[in-house]
Amino acid sequence: MGRRNGPSVTVIYVVLIAVTVPLGLASRSRAIPMPDVVRRYGGDVLSAVCIFFGIRLVLRYHPRWMAMAGGFGVCVLIELQQLYRGSWLLQLRNDTALGILLGHGFLWSDIACYAIGSVLGVVLGWGVEIAFGMVSSGAWGKQLQTDVVGVSEFEDESTADVLDPTVGHAHAVE
């Protein structure tokens, strides 16, 4: 089997991450005019989207829901660690970059933003995968079909041809 035409899934998800990070940072900027709701919640939503993209990049042969659940879990753990107020962690949070990553205070609204961002990440990722012919549009929850010609369509509802990353060829998965 030959290679599928178009960019690889790695390139696509790296580009999605590279676009999402500056958008998330820009959502916190006072220099860019935007609605208060975007300034207040946009960064948290985009953080969850970015984490989904990163986990999907690593778990590309697994169902999307796994990447979504993993991303949401990471976001919730980051939010929960904000409840801890150890002096060493407070010093880390005072660093600009680490403060953005670790946050400064627990908020229930952030958990809601992470849930919205996780779902948005799945929808955007799925749309990009469909647009680049990496998966059929009826493939919700199925493994990503990538880099191999002829493995992007499903034989039936329970069987799909997927690239086996350990052997480098397509096989049926049930």
β pairing state of 169-173 and 160-164:
antiparallel
Q: Which pLDDT score, from 0 to 100, does residue 140 have?
A: 52
Please say whether the beta carbons of 135 and 126 come within 8 A: yes
Question: Residue 167's pLDDT is what?
Answer: 45
Tens-digit pLDDT profile for residues 94-119:
776 777 777 778 889 999 999 999 99
Contact (Cβ atoms closer than 8 angstroms) between residue 64 and residue 129: no
Model confidence at 155, in pLDDT bands (50, 70, 90)?
A: very low
pLDDT over 90 (residue 125): yes
The conformational region for residue 88 under phi > 0 = left, psi -120 to 50 = alpha, else beta, is alpha
Cα separation, 6 vs 153, in Å, equals: 17
Lowest mean pLDDT among 13-17, 30-34, 74-78: 30-34
Mean pLDDT of 25-37: 89
Report the predicted TM-score, pTM, of the whole model to 2 decimal places: 0.72
In single-letter form, the type of residue at position 150 comes to: G
